[in-house]
A and B are shown apart, each in its own frame.
Chain A
Amino acid sequence: MRSSVVHTLKGFNRRQWLVLAAFLLVLGFTTFHAYRLVSRAVYWHYHQDEQIQGWMSVRYVAHSYRVPPHILYQALGLPYRPPDRRPLQEIARAQNRSLDEVRAILMDAIVHARPPYPPPPPPPPDKGGPP
């Protein structure tokens, strides 16, 4: 069996070697993505919170972390109404902060809005309710 495989391989022309090389490359590529798929699925299964990223808006972070949006707007010194829809990267740039700083501010506000801390107060009436 093994000798017949070697014999066939020895008789391969250039095109057949190319097909074999492409097959091995595709196998490697597929294995890599399958591994990533499984490892990420396991990761997301055990991690409820997504890492805050530059593309996210303040409202999305509040929605994802299940905290009231006004506390995050307050933490960043932004008005609650009308809601600021810019991505965090743009907000950071406008405030001359790094994205890491913005992330740290938001995480601090999120931690203080969750147990064991008392629930955050409702948004101030002069700044309006949820839009």
Chain B
Amino acid sequence: MTEQLLGLLSNYGLPALFLILTIASAGIPLPVTLLLIACGSFVAQGEIGFWQVLVVSMVGAITGDQLGYFLGRWGGRRVVLRVTQRFGGALMIERAEAYARRWGGVGVFLSRWLLTPLGPWVNLTSGIAGYSWPRFLFWDVLGEALWVVLYVGLGKLFSDRVSALADLLGNLTWVIVGVLAAAILGWKLLRYFRGGDDAPEQAEKAEEATKAYTPATEG
């Protein structure tokens, strides 16, 4: 896959880079980490311009993110409503939406450059949750700019070690995602062992808090 993508990049240049990043950010898994690092290396070798790569990569990634967001907003919500009407679970969806609205900005920002495997999911859930689009766009642009500058910059800096760098960064990203997930689940387990996390009164309280919070945060 990487060979084909880099082949496209060598044959068609920046339009190919734009297209690949748009598709990947919309949710199709493609090895874009290696692609961006390789672009950084090509910049160091004088084959393409630094600013051109930055602008095209950013615009491509942001376009793909918007596709994911609006897919969730226009298509996803209807599907979720149908499923919850038929099979239940509306309360869980409401809570998830409230959390997405509450942590949306930070979630969008971090999933652009630090927790990159979560990016397409965050786009979809932000759309489904009806997270404010201007805010989504703001955090998206900020996060994607950091991601592109970081990866292309690292590729430029370590231009003769592209494979090694992509390998290390790929594993590091999964370790960070894993540690965060383990911390959340571990905290939940700890509450089970201390007793009372699933007590009905607490669930009701959480639900009330969520409902009270929702109208104040809608953008």
* A interface, CB within 8 angstroms of B: 5, 8, 12-13, 15-16, 19-20, 22-23, 26-27, 29-30, 33-34, 36-37, 40-41, 44, 50-51, 53-55, 57, 59-60, 63-64, 66, 85-87, 89-90
Whether the pair B3, A36 counts as a contact (CB closer than 8 A) is: no
Whether the pair A44, B161 counts as a contact (CB closer than 8 A) is: yes
CB B207 to nearest CB in A, in angstroms, measures 16
Chain A interface helix/strand/loop/mixed: helix
B162 within 8 A of A: yes
CB A9 to nearest CB in B, in angstroms, measures 9
Alpha-carbon separation in the docked complex, A40 to B163 (Å): 11
Whether the pair B168, A41 counts as a contact (CB closer than 8 A) is: yes
Give the residues in chain A near B195, CB-CB below 8 Å: 8
Give the residues in chain B near A19, CB-CB below 8 Å: 185, 188-189, 192
B13, closest chain A residue (CB): A85
Whether the pair A63, B160 counts as a contact (CB closer than 8 A) is: yes
Alpha-carbon separation in the docked complex, A86 to B186 (Å): 48
B179 within 8 A of A: yes
Whether the pair A8, B161 counts as a contact (CB closer than 8 A) is: no
CB A47 to nearest CB in B, in angstroms, measures 8
Whether the pair A34, B175 counts as a contact (CB closer than 8 A) is: yes
Give the residues in chain A near B38, CB-CB below 8 Å: 55, 60
Please tell me which one of the listed residues A12, A15, A37, A60 contacts residue B168 in the complex, with CB atoms under 8 A apart. A37
Give the residues in chain A near B179, CB-CB below 8 Å: 30
CB A51 to nearest CB in B, in angstroms, measures 7
Alpha-carbon separation in the docked complex, A12 to B6 (Å): 51
CB B30 to nearest CB in A, in angstroms, measures 13
CB A86 to nearest CB in B, in angstroms, measures 6
Give the residues in chain A near B185, CB-CB below 8 Å: 19, 22-23, 26
